[in-house]
Amino acid sequence: MSSNSPILDPKCPGGDIETRWDRHRFAMKQVNPANKRKFHIIVVGTGLAGGSAAASLAELGYRVTSLCIQDSPRRAHSIAAQGGINAAKNYPNDGDSVFRLFYDTIKGGDYRARESNVYRLAQVSNNIIDQATAQGVPFAREYGGHLANRSFGGAQVSRTFYARGATGQQLLLGAYAAMNRQIQAGRIDMRCRREMLELVVVDGVARGVIVRNLITGAYERYAGDAVLLCTGGYGNAFYLSTNAKNSNVTASWRAYKRGAFFANPCYTQIHPTCIPVSGDHQSKLTLMSESLRNDGRVWVPKAAEDKRPASQIPEEDRDYYLERRYPAFGNLVPRDVASRAAKERCDAGFGVGSSSMAVYLDFADAIDRDGEDAVRAKYGNLFHMYQKITDENPYESPMRIFPAVHYTMGGLWVDYNLESTIPGLFVLGEANFSDHGANRLGASALMQGLSDGYFVIPYTVCGHLAGRHLQPVTTQHEAFAEAESEARSQTEKLLAVGGSRSVDSFHRELGLTLWDDCGMARSEKGLKHAIGKIAELRAAFWNDVRVLGEEKDLNQSLEKAGRVADFLEFAEVLVKDALNRTESCGGHFRLESQTEEGEAKRDDENFSYAAAWEYQGTGQDAVLHKEPLAFEYVQLAQRSYK
Amino acid sequence: MLRWIYRFLNSSIGRKALMASTGLLLIGFLIAHLAGNLSLYKGEGVFDEYAHFLGGLEILPLAEFLLALLFVAHITMAILTTLENRGARPVKYAVAASHGKKTVSSTTMFISGLVVLIFLGKHLWDFRLHKEAFEKAPAEVVQTALSNPLTAMVYILGAIALGFHLFHAFASAFQTLGVNHPKYTPALTWLGRVLAVILALGFASFPLIFWLSQGGAH
Amino acid sequence: MSAEKTMKLNLKIWRQKNADSNGSIEDFQLDGVSTDMSFLEMLDVLNEQLISAGREPIAFDHDCREGVCGCCGAVVNGQVHGPDEETTLCQLHMRRFHDGDTIQIEPWRSRAFPVIKDLIVDRTAFERIQQAGGFVSVSTGSAPDANTISIPTRDAEKAFDFAECIGCGGCVAACPNGAAMLFTAAKVAQLVTLPQGKLERSSRVLTMVERMDAEGFGDCTNHYECSAACPKGVPIEAIAVMNREYLRATFLSPEGA
Ligand SMILES: Cc1cc2nc3c(=O)[nH]c(=O)nc-3n(C[C@H](O)[C@H](O)[C@H](O)COP(=O)(O)OP(=O)(O)OC[C@H]3O[C@@H](n4cnc5c(N)ncnc54)[C@H](O)[C@@H]3O)c2cc1C
Ligand code: FES
């Protein structure tokens, strides 16, 4: 069942794209400064999106409650971002502009994102760099003292700002510092080690959350006038991913079950350069930043099954397949293209390393050209990380890399205001679906998270607060009691199963299924297989999972179990969305839809829409709503990086 | 008005800054003291002259008072810091190891300081408080005191403890006062260590020599 | 690359039910540990074994598992984050150990970091130190163009060395005095090295140090163990900078009055 839904009003202003955001802000209802402190906003998550939002809203005078899973807001998964953040500053004078960043992002996303949102993103990108610099973020600088840029995939200009290989860390610490200032001022009430388990909806409006205190196990209720979900991506559905171990879909999923639509769940990004799996014990995968492709060259042996060590394979026996296939962009093609090319080579028997599931990323030329010190200055921490994990020295022999799940473009559906289909529930950062279409360009997630938090939500939340006449709600409202008992009963159920298998064993199996059938390449047959398998796994989980320990205690198995239970439900929607989309686009490659050269073939006629799924109750199929995508400023074309 | 002094002396950094600066001044005193004592090697007359010169100085009481103040401040800060640090780790590690930076000297500052303090007590008794100290010629007092093997032992131990103390103290004081620079810090570290050895050897030389020459003669 | 091998280990791990109970060291045997595993993966394997034996798994903090979030940490055979330099516990690999080794695993020990459960400690004292002044007071929207502030590469790099702190608490755990100087100093030094942070330098150092002292950490006596154990190699110079800033603020600034 599906429809071009009237419910999905993206609320984008029309007219000239350059002035849309200005006009939209002007038209929006305002909350006057004195009234701001009367409103209470709940921000779930303290990554770049949540951290920047909480700080900015508190600065404006709102009362903010901020929640996160870790013991400090600074530890949100954003901390791990390595390579950089884009902005259209055009400092290098190489022809960048807001329009070019907008254009590259739409094209990079394979024409599956909303033009208005992406244009706004490009517009505010420059403010982010200014803001972060003013906070003391130590971006890399040229010798003259001005900010430096590097290149990232999918762009022919250098627009990526960076702080060594720890850009996410530095940006997050900037937002964290801004939060700290507001915590000190008493305007943010920061609650760490809390996991949101339910959204509370009162009279159709999001008015609060139920969280579990992860130290005491107690359930806590928070009521407010708006709820912001900034809870990150769901890449961990695949078990092995570059995401932090606590990353989850729980907050989004429970909101989905309360009426928020889930958009494009099948758009997952497989990052081309990660350290390959080393054995069954593997608990997560480590990214080697895309920035490495500025200087590293990707190759495999020309002959299949060539088992000589890299150093003994002479130049003429090497196949620099990205440079060969995509001369215009070379090693800097977008991620989806690079990942599929690596998989293609490995599947054809050209892979290297003991598993043959890896390709080389070689710095020999860069080291010859610029010297080892120059390479160390740029990538030292990444090389160090690589050596720690593999026990190999990348200054001497090429890195072995393979694609891994990294990012999720899909997420809760939001309109131009970042508001979901539940009024008062806003979704920011990786948790929403908005700006990256079917494939995210490198260095654009940090940009989007901070844009949402610093420069979009502070305005758009006004429309909700000032425009809807909200009645006061306290945690005594029956909706809170109902949601809490829902959360409690799930926890009790998990503890009561008393089976024989650990939570992780189910999670691994789910991950394997998704990776095999819904990973870099998907087919109808595989997807149908996955749907059956997921249902089986879910049944097995509820029959046989073993969760030890107590409810009213710090219980990490219980936390994991709750998250895996949600992944097991969510995975089905992910796979069904993939099944529905019979085209290839971006991170979604349907084997049935490719050109003769094996490149992805989009089907604009039938699939130029965002797919938003609506929950119908346990055991019922979700309903698909379509938000049509119109392209007025960028011409739809088959993507080419040749 | 004096709130800042209270705050400063109540802060960990303030206390240590006071400990470091008094420590450095005391090192200055030690250098001068050793230089003066070395006149013993030039002959008893020279030493006696030096001692009388010092004794005749009008500001001597003031100088002694200030010196005492330095000691008191230094020791008070040391006690406060040590007490604080004892409490900062109520449960100890079952296995003690390290990443190799701490030294015997850095971990025994309180003990070496205590030994120096005990020595100081004895030293003051011998040369400043003891009745005989005022009756005999200074060089003779030294001779009498140090020819006692037990006293000589205490003096040698005191000098060794002082060496250990200063081995860490000198460079550490600069760090505490905020002086750390890739160019100068390594030099200061070595200077401190050399100074520690020189002062320890210098002060130990007197009891050693007196003890050996006297003790050997009997 | 060394070839993968497996080994058998004797583990002695601190177990403590919660903040109110007393803990003790428990012994575990673990077989089939691959040299390619990370230290945390070794604990995962142990936990799987405990679960199948019906025993509660060992609680430990972790998230990114790549050395940047600062969640993980334990004292391994008396060494903070284990024996390697500039390495977090999650980056430590089992190839560093040998078949038959006994490994002692303890939580951070500090009055200011009470144990919550097993290897998990409460590090919120760090939060309060940062809240006391670890920021530049610039509200969203009020920043000038980034290139109007030009900063010599040297200073930017220096600031970065300080800014790299991940807040794991290893410095406190490694310090013989349980001091939190390196942690606090890293932020003070980062911000004072940059022009953006200079405006509030005096009030920042005074309030942050006051908070740090109030949290019950010990006092620095310059053992330099903190910096040696720091997984990010935050230089000891940071502490000198903070000392200097503190003295400057006390004696030379109006804020010191
Ligand atoms: C290794 C790696 C490197 C990357 N490098 C780059 C890069 O160079 N450039 C770039 O642009 N992007 C990069 N990305 C992507 C980017 O880092 C993320 O997309 C982005 O940081 C997400 O930010 P966020 O604020 O949306 O969510 P997150 O940072 O994931 O934060 C989620 C927050 O939500 C909280 N939370 C989650 N669930 C709950 C719950 N149920 N209850 C309470 N709290 C909850 C968490 O505690 C956390 O605080 C990288 C990603 C990875 C994995
Ligand atoms: S788990 Fe993030 S630093 Fe170790």
pLDDT tens-digit readout, A446-458: 999 999 999 999 9
Q: How far apart are CA C118 and CA C105, in angstroms?
A: 10
> What's the full length of chain A, in residues?
642
The pLDDT mean for chain A works out to 95
- Give the minimum alpha-carbon distance from C139 to chain B in angstroms, rounded to a whole number: 30
Using a pLDDT cut of 90, give the percent of chain C over it: 96
- DSSP output for chain B: -THHHHHHHHSHHHHHHHHHHHHHHHHHHHHHHHHHHGGGGG-HHHHHHHHHHHHH-TTHHHHHHHHHHHHHHHHHHHHHHHHHHHHT-SSPPSS---SS---HHHHTHHHHHHHHHHHHHHHHIIIIISTHHHHS-HHHHHHHHHHSHHHHHHHHHHHHHHHHHHHHHHHHHHHHTT---TTTHHHHHHHHHHHHHHHHHHHHHHHHHHIIIIIHH-
Nearest ligand to residue C73 Cα: 2
Candidates B99, B101, B178; nearest CB to C240: B178
Q: Domains for chain C: give ranges and CATH numbers.
A: 6-117 (3.10.20.30), 124-256 (1.10.1060.10)
What is the structure's pLDDT at B1?
65
Q: Which of A335, A400, A581, A602 is catalytic?
A: A335
Q: What average pLDDT does the segment B199-204 reach?
A: 96
Q: How far is the CA of A6 from the centre of ligand 2 (A)?
A: 45
Rg (Cα) of chain A, in Å, rounded?
24
Q: Does pLDDT of C246 surpass 80?
A: yes
Chain A neighbors of C147, CB-CB under 8 A: 89, 91, 146-147
Q: Does pLDDT of C234 surpass 60?
A: yes
Chain B neighbors of C112, CB-CB under 8 A: 88
Q: How far is the CA of A447 from the centre of ligand 1 (A)?
A: 12
Q: How far is the CA of C86 from the centre of ligand 2 (A)?
A: 13
What is the structure's pLDDT at A180?
98
What is the structure's pLDDT at A291?
86
* C156: contact with A, CB 8 A cutoff: yes
What is the number of CB-based contacts under 8 A between chain B and chain C? 149
Q: Are A268 and A577 in contact (CB under 8 A)?
A: no
For residue A191, indicate whether it is catalytic: no
Q: Do C111 and B90 touch (CB under 8 A)?
A: yes
Minimal Cα distance from C254: which residue of B? Answer: B4
Candidates C40, C59, C160; nearest CB to A163: C160
Chain C neighbors of B178, CB-CB under 8 A: 240-241, 243-248
pTM (two decimals): 0.96
pLDDT tens-digit readout, C95-112: 999 999 999 999 999 999
Q: How much helix, strand and coil, in percent to the nearest 5, is found in chain A?
A: 40, 15, 40
Please, which pLDDT band fits residue A624 given cuts at 50, 70 and 90? very high
Minimal Cα distance from B104: which residue of C? Answer: C223
Q: Quick one: which H or E segment has residue A98?
A: helix A98-108
What is the structure's pLDDT at A6?
64
Return the top range by mean pLDDT from A595-599, B184-188, B206-210: B184-188
For the segment(s) B13-213, the CATH number from 1.10.150, 1.10.287, 1.10.3470, 1.20.1300 is 1.20.1300
Using a pLDDT cut of 90, give the percent of chain A over it: 90
* C123: contact with A, CB 8 A cutoff: yes
What is the structure's pLDDT at A263?
98
Nearest ligand to residue A454 Cα: 1
Query: Which residues 123-162 of chain C have a CB within 8 Å of chain B?
Result: none
Please, which pLDDT band fits residue A1 given cuts at 50, 70 and 90? very low
Q: What are phi and psi of C34, to 5 degrees?
A: -80, 145
The pLDDT mean for chain C works out to 96
Q: Do C116 and A554 touch (CB under 8 A)?
A: yes
* A181: contact with C, CB 8 A cutoff: yes
What is the structure's pLDDT at B214?
66
Q: Are C187 and A136 in contact (CB under 8 A)?
A: no
Query: Among B175, B188, B211, B182, which Cα is nearest to B19's?
Result: B175
Q: Do C106 and B93 touch (CB under 8 A)?
A: yes
3-state secondary structure (DSSP) of residue A339 = helix
Q: Which residue has the tokens 């094209």?
A: A107
Please, which pLDDT band fits residue B218 given cuts at 50, 70 and 90? very low
pLDDT tens-digit readout, A457-516: 999 999 999 999 999 999 999 999 999 999 999 999 999 999 999 999 999 999 999 999
Q: What average pLDDT does the segment C198-213 reach?
A: 97
Q: How far is the CA of C166 from the centre of ligand 2 (A)?
A: 9
Atom of ligand 2 minimally distant from the CA of C73: 4
Tell me yes or no: is domain A271-405 CATH 3.90.700.10. yes
pLDDT tens-digit readout, C138-171: 999 999 999 998 999 999 999 999 999 999 999 9
Q: What average pLDDT does the segment A42-49 reach?
A: 98
Q: Does pLDDT of B133 surpass 90?
A: no
**Which of C184 and C5 is assigned the larger pLDDT?**
C184
Domain ranges of chain B: 13-213
Please, which pLDDT band fits residue B213 given cuts at 50, 70 and 90? confident
Ligand 1 proximal residues by C-beta, below 6 Å: A 44-50, 67-70, 76-78, 80-85, 167-168, 194-196, 230-233, 242-243, 247-248, 250-251, 287, 289, 406-407, 429-431, 443-446, 449
- Give the minimum alpha-carbon distance from C145 to chain B in angstroms, rounded to a whole number: 33
Atom of ligand 1 minimally distant from the CA of A70: 47
Q: How far apart are CA A307 and CA C55, in angstroms?
A: 45
What is the structure's pLDDT at A5?
63
Please, which pLDDT band fits residue B141 given cuts at 50, 70 and 90? confident
Q: What average pLDDT does the segment A104-108 reach?
A: 95
pLDDT tens-digit readout, C46-105: 999 999 999 999 999 999 999 999 999 999 999 999 999 999 999 999 999 999 999 999
Q: Does pLDDT of B217 surpass 70?
A: no
Minimal Cα distance from B81: which residue of C? Answer: C219
Chain B neighbors of C114, CB-CB under 8 A: none
Please, which pLDDT band fits residue A422 given cuts at 50, 70 and 90? very high
* A376: contact with C, CB 8 A cutoff: no
Cβ-based neighbour number of residue A384 at 10 Å? 17
Same fold, A271-405 and A478-605: no
pLDDT tens-digit readout, A355-383: 889 999 999 999 999 999 999 988 888 99
Q: How far apart are CA A126 and CA A102, in angstroms?
A: 13
Q: How far apart are CA B18 and CA A579, in angstroms?
A: 73
* C143: contact with A, CB 8 A cutoff: yes
CA distances from B135 to B33, B71, B141 (A): 22, 27, 9
Q: Does pLDDT of B216 surpass 50?
A: no
* B176: contact with C, CB 8 A cutoff: yes
What residues contact C251, with CB distance under 8 A and at least 6 apart? none
CA-based torsion, C5, C7, C12, C13: positive or negative: positive
For the segment(s) A478-605, the CATH number from 1.20.58.1610, 1.20.58.100, 1.10.357.140, 3.40.50.10490 is 1.20.58.100
Domain ranges of chain A: 271-405, 478-605
Ligand 2 proximal residues by C-beta, below 6 Å: C 62-65, 67-72, 88-90
Chain A neighbors of C40, CB-CB under 8 A: 283
Hey, what are B124's tokens?
């003051």
pLDDT tens-digit readout, A201-215: 999 999 999 999 999
Atom of ligand 1 minimally distant from the CA of A75: 49
* B101: contact with C, CB 8 A cutoff: yes
- Give the minimum alpha-carbon distance from A173 to chain C in angstroms, rounded to a whole number: 9
Residue nearest to atom 37 of ligand 1 (CA): A231
Q: How far apart are CA B212 and CA B208, in angstroms?
A: 6
- Give the minimum alpha-carbon distance from B136 to chain C in angstroms, rounded to a whole number: 43
